Amino acid sequence: MAEWSANVVQTINPGEAIVFTDNPVPCNLGLVRHRDGTGNFLLSGSRGCPCSASANYFVDFGANIAIPTGETVGEISLAITVDGASIPASEMIVTPAAVEEYSNVSRAINVPIWRGCCQTVTVQNTSDIPISVQNANIVFDRPDLR
pLDDT tens track for 101-136:
999 999 999 998 877 788 999 999 999 999 999 999
Split at pLDDT 50, 70, 90, the class of 47 is low
The dihedral formed by the CA atoms of 83, 86, 87 and 93, expressed in degrees to the nearest 10: 150
Taking a C-beta distance cutoff of 8 angstroms, is the pair 117, 45 a contact? yes
Which of 115, 121, 145, 142 is CA-nearest to residue 43? 121
- Name the pTM for this structure: 0.91
Say how far apart CA 20 and CA 35 lie, in whole Å. 9
Pick the CATH number of 2-145 from 2.30.30.20, 2.60.120.40, 2.60.40.10, 3.40.718.10: 2.60.120.40
pLDDT tens track for 83-95? 999 999 999 999 9
84: left (phi over 0), alpha (psi -120 to 50) or beta: left
